[in-house]
Structure 1
């Protein structure tokens, strides 16, 4: 803090203090208190123990909070480098009772399919302005369809995104998005596309947002899923809409297991897609032995990645990869970059001080999409 005392230390020097003073301190500072690279988490209440729970590699989990003498105020401090963004919850113990919840002193919350978490934003992190609705950006259209899939043996819903000023006299690149409804719901991807296309950062494109039924089964190198994408979804959209009919006009994207689904589909159908956009892809492998630490759901993932590493191929021309430095997948993602490059593909790899979560993936969308389909007119043909 360049010689300036931390707020919590100043409070300690005033102890003992009454409840009204604590009320004023908490109302003024909230939680967490960000002072340079120091983040201080606070909680007020009666408890036997309180801790900060998170998924930041390298940071103790749980991060134990300590109660200030003579008060009901609990605190824990840690270092968060500039630009960091961390999702967390608090865990409280009273006797044998344990409870986890979002930080009641922090209004900033992130959502995901498994619930919500509080957000700690360090100095230097800002929510990108292009993730919020822009009144000047003309909105694209979402069209919901249901495709009958022989490969999946079921009806498969798809949300098609058509850009603003869509015109059938033009041709558009195609983006196929795994976990499509989650990208729409938790990464604001329709708003992001509207804004990036309006700002000429990304070429006007058609996007197919495809939700899975059982992603843990269908996404790790699942032949029926790959067949659905390559032999059913892409041809049917191509029949309906004016698309660029070359590999460079087709991109597969996904995060986590969706990244594995994207890569494995491309490997099964080489040359169909020109690029991949992989976010925190679950590229787990074992160089020695069989223990990967991911549990049984990762067995087919590890089998696929091990086999690919043994015989690398270039199913696409270009791969955009992003990953958070605070997630366990950062090591395998870094390790796969030279493998992909040595196979003959162009790779752009970016890291962020964030974790395995939807807002991390949202914040990387401009960088990834503008690299795959740069604006304003490269992939739009009269």
Structure 2
């Protein structure tokens, strides 16, 4: 493909260039991992280089891949060979553009207390400060997709850093791994019952838990946490919901044909919006990216929960639906929620 050319990033735009010295491509398309409904994503050929000028999206970061159309008909998706910056994700790395003004969280490089993680079962991992005994009563944070949260968003690193800084009390983090994610997390009563009847009792039997348990999740994991809290009184004393999939028939028609659980999820969203089956309001912190499709449904849900008595606050972050975005929102949104629930 020849020499590589880095993206040209400014305050207002980004210009992508892909060399094609041997004229091996018939087209190139940008695959952005955020919502750009009106943007032109097809590159134009300029001699032996494919080029695309893109106005800056409403974000400080943009994850993406390139789709290459070869002359033999093959279609290939790659990271940008001219951009060394990579972002980890559940389905592999993507290239990433960081616009002027983006700064990673300070806690990533801060001092951290040593921690230990043990496998409780095949689907539950438990982290705690290294010098903790099982009989030490500590607050508990329970995370859907927890191992992925930890690997891609440094969840326990966040806990370790804020404990070291004295900003959060010593606590444990239970990381839950789904087996059949879409089915389990799509407002499934059986999954909520499993949390109430089996998972939380098992954790309480294993270690001493102090105060209300806080549940967290992203995307469908956030939806599932809300479902569990509303279904079982006393299960969670606070919720941290990131880009939760509160899919709505009016706001999210694009999901109808591409997500098999759309009918079940949208029916539950409608139920919550009507105020049905609320068992007890608890503090809720929501975060959502300004450049993702879930923004409108998260705004709608935040208003509905507040109207039902939940102390609910939505923080909109200049990013999209990805783990780095969720990581970057931990401080202050998650930190503030945990202090409010655990310290008061």
Relative to structure 2, which stretch is displaced further, 98-107 or 32-41?
32-41
Residue of structure 2 equivalent to 1:315: 280
1:88 aligns with 2:30: no
Query: RMSD value over aligned CA atoms?
Result: 2.6
Whether the aligned pair in 1 keeps the contact of 2:137 and 2:208 (CA below 8 Å) is yes
Residue of structure 1 equivalent to 2:264: 300
Q: Secondary structure at the match of 2:167?
A: coil
Whether the aligned pair in 1 keeps the contact of 2:243 and 2:294 (CA below 8 Å) is yes
From 279, 283, 288, the counterpart of 2:246: 283
Residue of structure 2 equivalent to 1:195: 161
Residue of structure 1 equivalent to 2:173: 207
Task: Flag as ranges the 4+ runs of structure 1 deviating above 6 A.
Answer: 288-291
Distance 2:114 2:44 in 1: 49
Distance 1:315 1:163 in 2: 31
Distance 2:252 2:32 in 1: 29
Cα deviation 1:290-342 (Å, max 9, x = unaligned): 98635322221111111121224253421000011111110100111110001
Relative to structure 2, which stretch is displaced further, 288-297 or 360-369?
288-297
Q: Tell me the number of residue pairs that the alignment of Structure 1 and Structure 2 aligns.
A: 337
From 288, 295, 301, the counterpart of 1:336: 301
- Name the CA shift for 1:224/1:168 in 2 (closer, same or farther; >3 Å): same
Extract unaligned runs of 5+ from structure 1.
1-21, 147-155
Whether the aligned pair in 1 keeps the contact of 2:59 and 2:320 (CA below 8 Å) is no
Q: Secondary structure at the match of 2:327?
A: helix
Q: Structure 1 residue 115: deviation in Å?
A: 1.8
Residue of structure 2 equivalent to 1:115: 92
* TM-score (ref. length: structure 1): 0.81
1:53-202 aligned at under 5 Å gives the runs 53-60=31-38, 63-69=41-47, 72-80=48-56, 84-95=60-71, 96-132=73-109, 134=110, 136-146=111-121, 156-166=122-132, 170-202=136-168
Higher-Rg member (1/2):
1
Extract unaligned runs of 5+ from structure 2.
none
